[in-house]
Amino acid sequence: MTPDARFDEAARTLAAAERVVALSGAGISAESGVPTFRESGGLWEEYRIEEVATPEALAGNPRKVWEFYEMRRQNMQSVEPNPGHVALAELETLFEEVTIVTQNIDGLHQRAGSTRVLEVHGSLWKAKCLEGCGARRDPFPWPASQIPPPCECGSILRPEVVLFGEMLPTDVFEEATSRAVRADVALVVGTSSVVWPAAGIPLAAQSAGAIVIEVNPEATELTERFDISLRGPAGEILPRLYERVDKLRRVA
Ligand code: BV8
Ligand code: ZN
């Protein structure tokens, strides 16, 4: 099937939907200038996961983990949502229910106007007590006054981010799964689909009857499992998809 035919089929499928879920990953923020993880020049080329994104790293060297996340919070100061984020937010004007399930912690979907965003890997803009005394900071604005920031209980605060080996926030993940299994279409945008259990969300939607549409310049581990895969950058494809679906729904 030619790229245009795939695009037409994706638009027709989306235009017939009522409930849409979109799983996003670092790729949707790439055109905003935010580095991804696994591509060349990605974060995991410069930093080792074991040193900055595991609970062991946080326990062993909280300063180093905080420096990693404080650097990412600092970089976000000059970053804006891009047309890909905006197009996903605009889908809310077309559909009864749009849910963004994001692996990203940058907050760009909310800044673009999306009103139902489930952050399954947490957020750069929240912090909580390392020891679990219950203290939370939401928002936890950049810059932190001290690294690592002290907690009122005498311990320190940690980024409210899901590190490797940690459970995803149960309530958020359950809500994401229940929205996915009700969806007519699942978009999969800007993710390599290698990190579980988030990567499984579009497959849960598909086994409950949804059509899965991937948007990514590259093929991914799960491309073969998806119904339609559109090759290209989210910032270009999603606005075109929004325009076409808007037109189709006006004439419908
Ligand atoms: C869990 C932190 C249950 C926040 C992240 C040992 C013990 C426990 C679990 C495991 C284990 N070994 C493996 C696992 C499972 C592990 C996992 O999946 N590992 C992988 C690497 C194999 N998962 C976990 O650990 C999860 N927890 O399983 O707990 C449990 C608990 C206890 C005991 C047993 C089980 C926790 C996963 C969350 C980890 N935290 N980040 C942060 O720092 O951001 S994951 C990290 O990867 C980010 O959240 C990121 O979002 C996510 C996925 O990456 P992507 O977003 O897909 O980004 P990537 O660079 O990979 O790809 C970018 C894509 O964009 C590419 O495809 C590219 O082509 C595309 N792209 C580029 N430009 C564009 C574009 N697309 C569109 N437009 C463009 N312009
Ligand atoms: Zn505390």
- Taking Cα atoms as reference points, which of 27, 21, 75, 10 lies closest to residue 195? 27
98: domain range? 1-33+79-121+167-252
Ion ligand 2: protein residues whose beta carbon lies under 5 Å: 129, 133, 135, 151, 153, 155
Instruction: Please indicate, yes or no, whether residues 134 and 234 belong to a single structural domain of this protein.
Output: no
Instruction: State the pLDDT at residue 68.
Output: 97
Q: Name the one residue in this structure whose structure tokens are 């035919």.
A: 5
Using a 6 Å cutoff on CB, does residue 220 contact ligand 1? yes
Instruction: Please indicate, yes or no, whether residues 17 and 142 belong to a single structural domain of this protein.
Output: no
Max CA pair span of the chain: 62
Nearest atom within ligand 1 for CA of residue 193: 57
Calpha distance 70→75 (Å, rounded) = 9
Q: What's the CATH number where 248 sits?
A: 3.40.50.1220
Instruction: State the pLDDT at residue 29.
Output: 98
Cis peptide before 217 (omega within 30 of 0): no
Cβ-contact 191, 220 below 8 angstroms: yes
Q: Which residues of the chain, if any, have pLDDT below 70?
A: none
pLDDT tens by residue, 43-80: 999 999 999 999 999 999 999 999 999 999 999 999 99
Instruction: Please indicate, yes or no, whether residues 59 and 127 belong to a single structural domain of this protein.
Output: yes
Calpha distance 25→34 (Å, rounded) = 11
Share the mean pLDDT of the chain. 97
**Of 107, 140, 161, which residue sits at a domain end?**
161
- Taking Cα atoms as reference points, which of 225, 224, 214 lies closest to residue 10? 214
Cβ-contact 137, 153 below 8 angstroms: no
Among protein residues, the one with the nearest Cα to ligand 1's atom 47 is 195
Q: What's the CATH number where 70 sits?
A: 3.30.1600.10
* Distance from Cα 48 to the centre of ligand 1, integer Å: 14
Instruction: Please indicate, yes or no, whether residues 39 and 29 belong to a single structural domain of this protein.
Output: no
Instruction: State the pLDDT at residue 33.
Output: 96
Catalytic machinery residues: 121
pTM over 0.95: yes
Using a 6 Å cutoff on CB, does residue 218 contact ligand 1? yes
Instruction: Please indicate, yes or no, whether residues 143 and 233 belong to a single structural domain of this protein.
Output: no
Instruction: Please indicate, yes or no, whether residues 146 and 103 belong to a single structural domain of this protein.
Output: no
Query: Domains in the chain: how many in total?
Result: 2
Instruction: Please indicate, yes or no, whether residues 237 and 172 belong to a single structural domain of this protein.
Output: yes
Nearest ligand to the C-alpha atom of residue 220: 1
Nearest ligand to the C-alpha atom of residue 136: 2
Instruction: Please indicate, yes or no, whether residues 171 and 195 belong to a single structural domain of this protein.
Output: yes
Calpha distance 136→145 (Å, rounded) = 16
Backbone angles phi, psi at 68, to 5 degrees: -65, -45
**Of 109, 132, 161, which residue sits at a domain end?**
161
Using a 6 Å cutoff on CB, does residue 166 contact ligand 1? yes
Instruction: Please indicate, yes or no, whether residues 128 and 84 belong to a single structural domain of this protein.
Output: no
First to last CA, the chain: 25
Instruction: Please indicate, yes or no, whether residues 252 and 193 belong to a single structural domain of this protein.
Output: yes
Among protein residues, the one with the nearest Cα to ligand 1's atom 12 is 165
Instruction: Please indicate, yes or no, whether residues 4 and 62 belong to a single structural domain of this protein.
Output: no
Nearest atom within ligand 1 for CA of residue 52: 43
Instruction: State the pLDDT at residue 252.
Output: 78
* Distance from Cα 93 to the centre of ligand 1, integer Å: 30
Q: Which two tokens stand for residue 97?
A: 């229910």
pLDDT tens by residue, 185-204: 999 999 999 999 999 999 99
**Of 161, 182, 217, which residue sits at a domain end?**
161
Instruction: Please indicate, yes or no, whether residues 24 and 135 belong to a single structural domain of this protein.
Output: no
Cβ-contact 57, 135 below 8 angstroms: no
